[in-house]
Amino acid sequence: MSKFARRFLFLFVLVVGISAAVIYTTVDINTLHNLTRFHPWSLLLALFAVGLGMFFDGSRLMHLVKISNEKITLYQAVQVIFGNYFLALLTPGATGGAVAQVMFLRHAGVPTGKAAVLVIVRTLLSIFFLALCMPFIFLHDEGIVPGISNDVLMAVTLAAFVGIVLIVVGARRGYLDYLVVWIARRLRDKKRHQLFGLYRDTKSAISLLLGAPRQMLVVFAESGLNLLCIYAVVPCLLLGLGVTDADWYTVMGRIIFLNMLLYFSPTPGGSGIAEGGFVLLFAATVPAGTVGIVAVCWRLIAEYLPFLIGFYYTVTVFGREFLRRY
């Protein structure tokens, strides 16, 4: 059995097992009654929201490529986006997503160095948007994490934000060069080259971000719209269950908070953490007995469907031989 086949089988067993466990542990006597009130049109609305999110994601990628003085088509941008979903779900911490993006960008004619920089910029913009949302979420939603006060969460967020700013300034002005060299001297050759490569690409990404502020503002807005549209899947599903009086500010805030955590999840695609976090955050909002089902539907529409499309594009562009090697 190839390495890819083992990974795919592991992911399939993991996803099915987690989904079944989440649904089994959350159903109750009210489940069937609440599901009979479900409106199928909400699924179409959720799919439309994901499609719109993918459009903004493709648009921001094309703008980034243009800023770097390269050019790709919308179809090539779509391949990059879905390829990211495919390999991200197959690897711990979604590390394969970055590799997939570089591969598809190279296939589209973007040099490897620029492709790596563009991938870093995309990630930084998404995380930066989510980080900016955090204070507004914590000020509105008291006790979002049981046992941890919002003051502590706010302090951690502000500290992280200040840390990001210091890293950007330090890398831009060369202050971090000394720290990177000091760390590199204590690493083996392979790790040393990887560290220098990552640091070089990060500095290039920061230069790209700061070198075209107006265009980057447009890209940043598209990053926000991309994320908000994809996160809107949850409100769509809630509307389908007849939830019309929810605090939508809180709903969107919690899904943003959860997805921020998933960026740092060690499991493939955040499997397990996503479903468990969803049940914890939305148990009081979703109709009784349906929170597990909604969690699985959310993951199916927002993650697993793009994963399958990414699988198709990967095989179409690179052939089955790539899967055997990977």
Tell me the per-residue pLDDT of 202-230, one tens digit each, with 9 for 90 and over: 888 888 877 788 888 999 999 999 999 99
d(Cα 187, Cα 183) in Å, to the nearest integer?
A: 7
d(Cα 83, Cα 105) in Å, to the nearest integer?
A: 10
- Answer yes or no: is pLDDT of 1 > 60: no
Give the chain's largest Cα–Cα span: 64
Burial readout 146-167 (b: 16 or more C-beta within 10 A, e: otherwise): eeeebeebeeebeeeeeeeeee
Burial status of residue 29 (CB atoms within 10 A of its CB: 0-12, 13-18, 19 or more): exposed
pLDDT (average), residues 57-73: 90
Burial status of residue 192 (CB atoms within 10 A of its CB: 0-12, 13-18, 19 or more): middle
**How much is the pLDDT for 298?**
93
Q: What one-letter code names the amino acid at 258?
A: L
272 vs 60, residue with greater confidence: 60
Q: Grade residue 256 by pLDDT with cuts at 50, 70 and 90.
A: very high
Q: Report which of 65, 57, 64, 107 is spatially closest to residue 82, judged by C-alpha positions.
A: 57
Cβ partners under 8 Å of residue 10, min gap 6: 268
pTM for this entry: 0.87
Give the Cβ contact number of residue 282 at 10 Å. 22
d(Cα 183, Cα 89) in Å, to the nearest integer?
A: 31
128, 138, 145, 156, 157 from 152: Cα distances, Å: 20, 10, 11, 6, 9
**How much is the pLDDT for 105?**
92
pLDDT (average), residues 181-185: 84
Cβ partners under 8 Å of residue 207, min gap 6: 172
Cβ partners under 8 Å of residue 137, min gap 6: 144, 253, 254, 256, 257
- Answer yes or no: is pLDDT of 287 > 80: yes
Q: What one-letter code names the amino acid at 46?
A: A
